[in-house]
Amino acid sequence: MQFFESYIERLGSDVVPPPEIILGSDGLETVARRISSLPAGTGVWIISDENTDTAFPLRAALSSLASSTTPASERRVAACSPLPGTPRVVPDDFLVERITCDVIAAKAGLVVAIGGGTISDIAKRVSYLAGVPNWCVATAPSVDAYTSAKSAIRVDGYHNGIPATPSSLVVCDVDVMAAAPQVLFLSGVGDLTAKYFAYLEWFIASLVTGEPYSEREASFALDSARRAVAAFQSLPSGARPDAAAARALGDAVLTSGLAMRAAGNSRPAASAEHTIAHFWEMAGVVGVESYDYHGLLVAIAAATVFPFYVGFFDQLRRGMPDPDRDVVEPYDHLSSLDRLVAPYRAKMIAETGGPVPLDERRRRVARFLASAESIIERAETLLPELETAIGALGAAGFPLTPASAGISAEAVTTSLRYVPYLRDRFGMFDLILYLGWEDRLGLPSPAGR
């Protein structure tokens, strides 16, 4: 049994209806056959770009079902063109709205995404807005959102995880995935490194702020990452991923997406490293285009924040803080904003509002300390594992520094300063802010100071 199958079994009626997932060979034939057997006149709307149409020529295989010479009563595929391959598609609300209008005008009855995470996100959101189901044909194991119920869409230039219709059928052809550019494979493993932080931070947030927590979703997401990292490490040095490695990684990203869907949010999969990676993406500070992939940026952000997590727990081992004595007064982070974050002022206010008051900060630190033993125990298991995972990516010839992706020191500094404000998601950066530990951990001064 594949890992995602055992998870769906454990989910039972918690995810209804459960998606049909096919992880194997012959994806093209499978999807073509499924579409051919739909009722005539269904009107399948295919969303892909010119690059993926080469890797997965479903559109060409179905051309007879879309041809204007085919009688309307026999047609199953709506007349629609691929999105351009260059420049890369940006999943913003304008594009989503345009495609949604086209889908509605064509009276399409099914949306089929062919591609990576961006195409899947667009299709799930279009499906949600147009009120029609969607299928996803994933051509690269590059992100973990294929099976989730949210789409990452830019609204007013800001990254948002917004409601979407989960794909009722997800097809991952392991041979197509194995043939995808290696950078997409690394991106998938990179996205999964976030699960180690998530397992720690979601747990902390549940103890400190009372946020709902599910050990089932947290541990399935983490174990999916462990499996993918193990498969990645077992590849001979310098070897291209084969179908077996693609299957293992595909299994992991599918499981992680299901965990997000079951949790109702991305807590099982994303923490501070995602906040930072999303900020770099939307601020347009990634100077090297070949690195501008979600999972790669997540891995670089994970490697960037990793030493601060280690440092934080080192500080705790040296001596526990006193909530009444050691918690610092809040700064007015909106008083003078860093240049790169200034465009997101309104969004930050909507996301996190004003600073958390001193009394509440003290209560939160006290709650953290009351459970410090179990939190430290969890960190002591996870952080060494994460270091190994990051090291494995590095050993594959993937430089994990922001500079290698053309991200400036200014952009790194800004992202580290504003983690607590860019997203309403409690984590270790909030605790560092409450305790005023930036200087001792080597972090930039907090926003507003």
Residues that bind Zn ion (CB under 5 A): 191
Question: SS3 of 150, please?
Answer: strand
Task: Tell the smallest beta-carbon distance from residue 144 to Zn ion (Å).
Answer: 6
Closest CB to Zn ion among residues 295, 355: 295
Task: Tell the smallest beta-carbon distance from residue 269 to Zn ion (Å).
Answer: 6
Task: Tell the smallest beta-carbon distance from residue 152 to Zn ion (Å).
Answer: 8
Task: Tell the smallest beta-carbon distance from residue 277 to Zn ion (Å).
Answer: 7
Task: Tell the smallest beta-carbon distance from residue 8 to Zn ion (Å).
Answer: 21
Return the residue matching tokens 């939190």: 375
Closest CB to Zn ion among residues 191, 438: 191
Closest CB to Zn ion among residues 144, 173: 144
Q: Which of 176, 178, 210 is nearest to 363 (CA)?
A: 210
Rounded to a whole number of angstroms, the CA Rg of the chain reads: 22
Task: Tell the smallest beta-carbon distance from residue 198 to Zn ion (Å).
Answer: 10
Burial class (CB in 10 A: 0-12, 13-18, 19+), 373: exposed
Angstrom distances, CA of residue 413 to CA of 150, 151, 203: 29, 28, 27
Closest CB to Zn ion among residues 173, 191: 191
Strand residues in 10-81 grouped as ranges (E): 20-24, 44-47
**Helix 372-395 / helix 294-318 crossing angle, nearest 10 deg:** 140
Closest CB to Zn ion among residues 231, 270: 270
Return the residue matching tokens 């807005």: 129
Task: Tell the smallest beta-carbon distance from residue 341 to Zn ion (Å).
Answer: 21
* Cβ(163)–Cβ(273) below 8 Å: no
Task: Tell the smallest beta-carbon distance from residue 294 to Zn ion (Å).
Answer: 6
Q: Which of 98, 220, 104, 114 is nearest to 167 (CA)?
A: 114
**What's the CA angle centered on 416, arms 411 and 418, to 5 degrees?**
95
Closest CB to Zn ion among residues 82, 295: 295
Q: Which of 188, 411, 422, 430 is nearest to 298 (CA)?
A: 188
Task: Tell the smallest beta-carbon distance from residue 278 to Zn ion (Å).
Answer: 9
Closest CB to Zn ion among residues 121, 191: 191
Closest CB to Zn ion among residues 53, 191: 191
Residue 127 exposure: Cα atoms within 13 Å on the Cβ side: 30
Closest CB to Zn ion among residues 139, 142: 142
Question: SS3 of 267, please?
Answer: coil
Task: Tell the smallest beta-carbon distance from residue 287 to Zn ion (Å).
Answer: 21
What residues have CB less than 8 Å from 223, skipping those under 6 apart?
A: 3, 255
Q: Which of 32, 37, 46, 119 is nearest to 82 (CA)?
A: 46
Residues forming beta bridges with residue 115, ordered by sequence position: 138
> Widest CA span of the chain, in angstroms?
79
The amino acid at 227: R
Residue 165 exposure: Cα atoms within 13 Å on the Cβ side: 21
Closest CB to Zn ion belongs to which residue? 191
Strands 134-138 and 110-115, sheet pairing: parallel
Closest CB to Zn ion among residues 103, 260: 260
Burial class (CB in 10 A: 0-12, 13-18, 19+), 39: exposed
Task: Tell the smallest beta-carbon distance from residue 266 to Zn ion (Å).
Answer: 7
Closest CB to Zn ion among residues 102, 191: 191
